[in-house]
Amino acid sequence: MSSPYVRRRRLAAELRTLRESHNLTADELAARIHQSRVKISKLENAHSRPGLSDVMNILEALEVPDTEWRRILRLARDAAQKGWWDKYGDAMGERQRVYADLESGADTIREYHPGLLPGPLQTPEYILALIQLARAATPLKYSIDRLVGARLQRKAQILRADGPRYEVILDEVGLRRYSGPADVYVAQLHHITEVAESNSRVAVRVLPLRTAPIGDLMPRAQLSVYTFPDPADPTIVIEATVATDLVVTEPAEVAANLRRYDHVRDAALSEVSSLSFLGSLADEISSTAG
């Protein structure tokens, strides 16, 4: 399955290019297909799942040749697909749905996590601990069971036998500033090690506290990089902030983020040393917690 989100962005760029090649404004195209400018704007900005009838009306209005018509309509069908995450609705949260969507079609996923441990490697107990912390800060508007179920399904999708290659870099600072009960966190660290050792598609590295200077090449926030099997699907980067996720597709900015990721990766411990570190940290926390 291709990522509907990625295909929506490709479709949006195609439709915008088509309109501009005919020297039409969004208002003029909207009038031709008897729709609102808002509808055109949403399609050209990938803000909603496309309606196939709307796309066909645009192609007809712009007199697109048959060969191009079929190609763009296939793109629109991919963009309109629903994924497993849609059945969870608001229980999963908009940000989690975007991640699940991108992961569904990814060939490789690379992440840098300076704080919380990554969702695809979380245990049910750790997920619940994080939810309890969130609930203490603000009332939840969704079912806890459905949220846990959604996160576990996201994990299963990534760790499936034919899933994407997944590499994550964990920061020692974030690992030591853990959230939740010590016993849950210790079990979570052991779980990460077990997953990495048993799944050849998963690689875990640790960025130690002391490294060579990284400076401006340090990622500005949690970073996720997605590549896809279809060469026409662009590499996508997500910079996660506290309030929102910044989706980056502009080639120069993607390249800059890849340099930041690669620089941190070069400074990180090897896979073997990283798993050894996680085991030692788990023992240290167990001993301290008594």
Task: Write down all domains in the chain, each with its CATH number in brackets.
Answer: 4-80 (1.10.260.40), 87-289 (3.30.870)
Mean pLDDT check: name the lowest of 53-57, 114-118, 261-265.
114-118
Cβ neighbours, 10 Å, residue 67: 8
DSSP 8-class letter at 217: G
**pLDDT over 80 (residue 91):** no
Q: Residue 110's beta-bridge partner residues? A: 167, 225
Q: What does the pLDDT look like over 6-35, one tens digit per residue?
A: 999 999 999 999 999 999 999 999 999 999
Cβ neighbours, 10 Å, residue 263: 18
**Six token digits for residue 28:** 């003029």
Choose the most confident range, by mean pLDDT, from 60-64, 131-135, 278-282: 278-282
Q: Please tell me which residue, 1 or 132, carries the higher pLDDT value.
A: 132
**pLDDT over 80 (residue 243):** no
The rounded Cα 221 to chain-centroid distance in angstroms is: 14
**pLDDT over 80 (residue 77):** yes
**Rounded to an integer, what distance in angstroms lies between the CA atom of residue 170 and that of residue 110?**
11
Mean pLDDT check: name the lowest of 128-142, 173-187, 195-209.
128-142
Mean pLDDT of 108-117: 93
Specify the pLDDT at position 282. 96
Mean pLDDT of 174-203: 94
pTM of the model: 0.90
What's phi and psi for 177, nearest 5 deg? -100, 60
DSSP 3-state of 101: helix
**pLDDT over 80 (residue 54):** yes
Q: Provide the phi-psi class of 160: left if phi over 0, else alpha when psi is between -120 and 50, else beta.
A: beta
**Rounded to an integer, what distance in angstroms lies between the CA atom of residue 175 and that of residue 170?**
7
**pLDDT over 70 (residue 254):** yes
Mean pLDDT of 203-220: 82
